[in-house]
Amino acid sequence: MKRLRNNRNITGLLFVSPWIIGFLIFTAFPLLYSLFLSFQQVKITTDGIKTKFVKFGNYEYAFTVDGTFLDRVMTYLEEMVISVPIIIVFSLIIALLLNQKVKFRGVFRTIFFLPVIIASGPVIKELIDQGITTIPSIEQYAIYQTLNENPEGFFNGILLYLIKNLIVILWYSGVQILIFLAALQKMDKQIFDAAKIDGASNWEFFWKITLPSLVPMIVVNLIYTIVTYSVFSLNPIIEHIQKNMFKVDTGYGYASALSWIYFLIIAAALAIAVGAMTLKRKKNYT
């Protein structure tokens, strides 16, 4: 019996082995190697790569000399803080709408998911360049003009960013809508009936039952949104990393340091977002 179980263990490992090998070669090793490179000055010579240990030189450079990087990180964080909640709330609203008994639900689902298919950097860039991603003919409205004249100030900046990028932000929500929708459709109808008998209003029902039960999905969507938002090729930080990779004076070492800083920022953002969600959840239940 024991041999049989051992056998099963080995077979299971065998199935997973391609992934383990791949992880070691294509993920774990590169991860460590790029961490190593980030502390080096990398020179490419005809004999191959020459490295020189520079301690935290690359990191210091990123935070002190390279103004562009810090600048772009700040913009990225600002935009993320604005966009991610909007994407989540917006996709939840659409999912709630689609969860109604509407005709042509399939058609609407098809439309809302469409951007996921064409979300490639160059296409979106082309659309942004043409100014198609703003709200149609917004320029004609007074509010836009006033905002455009005073782009200073925190809220004005946010509003302006929203107006200019609304369609792109909405375009990020395709997968999230479907995740929420699937969760809503899996919800037990009996809870609804029971709550109704107990005299819960729909309003209460939403806040006390629907929303709390969606919390895991909100976490999933948060992670998904932050990750896809961060690795999207139009992201200016990524452009910056790529530019430095092929620069002679900075090169691989510095680019590695940048990508590690960026990785840590994303990880921190994820940790904060997920942490905040789960904390709130605990409070709700106790």
Partner 1 sequence: MQTKTQHVNKYYFKTKRMFLGMQGTDGLLFKLLIYGLLIGIGFVYLYPLLYMGVYSFKSLDDLLNPLVNWIPTQFYTGNYEQANKVMDFFSTLMETLYVTVLPALAQTAVAAVVGYGLARFDFKGKKIIFVLVLATFIIPPQVTLIPRYIFFNELNILGSLSAFLLPATFGQGLNSAIFILIFYQFFRAVPKALEEAAQLDGAGHFRIFFTIALPMALPAIIISFLFSFVWYWNETYLAAIYFGDALTTLPLQLQKFVATYQKMFPAEMGVSGGNQLNEGIKMAGTVLSILPLLIVYFITQRWFVEGVDRSGITGE
CB of 231 to partner 1, least distance (A): 5
What residue type is 36 in one-letter code? F
Give the closest residue to 251 by CA, choosing from 21, 41, 18, 32: 41
CB of 241 to partner 1, least distance (A): 5
* Residues 3-62 interacting with partner 1 (rule: CB under 8 A): 8-16, 18-23, 25-27, 29-31, 33-34, 37, 49
What residue type is 68 in one-letter code? T
Cα distance between residue 76 and residue 274, in whole Å: 19
Give the closest residue to 264 by CA, choosing from 216, 235, 230: 230
Structure tokens belonging to residue 128: 């942004």
Using the rule CB under 8 A, which residue among 220, 236, 277, 281 binds partner 1?
A: 220
Based on CB atoms, which residue is closest to partner 1, 147 or 181? 181
179 binds partner 1 (CB under 8 A): yes
Start-to-end CA span in the chain (Å): 46
* Residues 64-123 interacting with partner 1 (rule: CB under 8 A): 94-102, 106, 108-123
203 binds partner 1 (CB under 8 A): yes
Using the rule CB under 8 A, which residue among 41, 58, 165, 230 binds partner 1?
A: 230
Give the closest residue to 87 by CA, choosing from 206, 186, 184, 227: 227
CB of 8 to partner 1, least distance (A): 6
What residue type is 172 in one-letter code? Y
201 binds partner 1 (CB under 8 A): yes
CB of 154 to partner 1, least distance (A): 26
Size of the site for partner 1 (CB under 8 A): 99
CB of 153 to partner 1, least distance (A): 27
Based on CB atoms, which residue is closest to partner 1, 150 or 255? 255
Point out which residues pair with 43 in neighbouring strands.
50
Structure tokens belonging to residue 261: 């800083």
CB of 269 to partner 1, least distance (A): 10
Is residue 221 within 8 A of residue 84, CB to CB? The reply is no
* Residues 248-277 interacting with partner 1 (rule: CB under 8 A): 252, 255-256, 259-260, 262-263, 266-267, 270
CB of 235 to partner 1, least distance (A): 9
Cα distance between residue 99 and residue 91, in whole Å: 12
Using the rule CB under 8 A, which residue among 86, 127, 159, 191 binds partner 1?
A: 127
Q: Locate tokens 């997973």: which residue? A: 16
Stretch that binds partner 1, among 74-82, 132-140, 144-152, 154-162 (CB under 8 A): 132-140
188 binds partner 1 (CB under 8 A): no
183 binds partner 1 (CB under 8 A): yes
Cα distance between residue 124 and residue 237, in whole Å: 17
CB of 143 to partner 1, least distance (A): 18
Q: DSSP string of 127-194?
A: HHHTT-SSPTTGGGSHHHHHHHH---SHHHHHHHHHHHHHHHHHHTTHHHHHHHHHHHHHS-HHHHHH
* Residues 158-177 interacting with partner 1 (rule: CB under 8 A): 166-167, 170-171, 175
